[in-house]
Every structure is written in C-alpha cells, then in structure tokens.
Amino acid sequence: MAELTTIARPYAKAAFDFAIEQNAVDSWAEMLNFVSLVSENETIHPLLTGVLSSSKLAELFVGVCGEQLNEHGQNLVRVMAENGRLEVLPAVYQLYVEFRNEWAKEIEANVVSAVELSSEQIQEISVSLEKRLARKVKLNCSIDTTLIAGVIIHAGDLVIDGSVRGKISRLSDKLQS
C-alpha cells in the first residue's frame, strides 16, 4: 500500500492544487471518486494492466466516464494512462480527500458504540472532538455489541477507547504484568 501511496501522491497533489486554483475542490472530489469506482469495476480493472495501448485505454476510460469528467479530468486520466498508473486511481482519490480535509480543517471520526447513541450524545462527542482537534468533525457512527458498553473513537491517528471491553483488556494486561 505504501508503494501505491507514493505513486498516487503527485497525481493527487497536482489535482488538488489545480482544483484550488479553479475553485472546484468539491467537483474534483466527485470526479476522482467516480473514476476511482470505475477503475475498481470488475470489467474495467483487468483492462488496466492488460495489453491495450495507453491511448486506447485512456479513450476507453474517458468514454466509460462520459460526462462525469470535465476536460481537465479527462486530461488527468490520459496522463495517468500514458504513465501506466490508472490502477492507482483509488489511492489518488483517498489522498485527494485527505488534502481536501486538511485544507478545509475537517476530519472524519468513526465512532463505534455498544448501543445506538442518542442525538445528544452524538452532539457531545462532536463538540468535544472539535475542541480537542481544532477542526470540524464529521462523525460516522456504527454499533458493535461486543463492546459491552462505551465507545471507541477513531479520528485520524487518534484512538480513544472508552469501551468496557477495552478497559477489561487493559486491566487484564496490568494484572498479567
């Protein structure tokens, strides 16, 4: 995965910088998401490493994407096809989203709880994380009944484990040491 990230980073950065210049950050995110999904399609994906010439592959890809790509998006696809890099489009999209979130001072946080959280609890978690991280926070909530009680929060590199299962595990580790 690190190799894909290394390959994808210059494309994602160039797309992001261009999107900033053109004041089209969200439309570029939509385009990159779409081409990422197309590249992962079970029919298209084998063609990316196949025997098609780069120009034929680029035209096929642009044709499949149709109106979802503007002229600049089509140019990115052509350049990546010429360099044999269309298979890294999902990584380009992920890096682009990271650049966009950093630029917009936003972060996505995954909140896993043992039971469904009330709207007040969600609001309280959101406010606390916004203060702690100094960013706007978008919460993705899910339920995992194996936690027994409490929540686990993942926001970038930050992990807050307030679950009973986590507390029992930490207590077990202390008792064994």
Confidence (pLDDT) at 109: 87
Give the burial string for 100-132 (b: 16+ CB within 10 Å, else e): bbeeeeebebebbbbeebeeeeeeebbeebeee
Confidence (pLDDT) at 11: 82
Which pairs with CB-CB distance under 8 Å and at least 24 residues apart come from 12-19? 12/91, 12/92, 12/93, 12/94, 12/95, 12/96, 12/99, 13/95, 13/99, 14/76, 15/76, 15/92, 15/96, 16/96, 16/99, 16/100, 16/103, 18/72
Tell me, yes or no, if the pTM score tops 0.85: no
* Residue whose C-alpha is closest to residue 69's, from 84, 85, 54, 89: 89
Confidence (pLDDT) at 94: 87
Assess if CATH 1.10.520.20 describes domain 2-102.
Answer: yes
Confidence (pLDDT) at 171: 87
The full set of domain ranges for the chain reads: 2-102, 106-176
Q: How far is CA 92 from CA 76, 77, 155, in A?
A: 11, 11, 21
List of the chain residues with pLDDT < 50 = none
Confidence (pLDDT) at 2: 58
Confidence (pLDDT) at 156: 76
Q: End-to-end CA distance of the chain: give it in Å, rounded.
A: 35
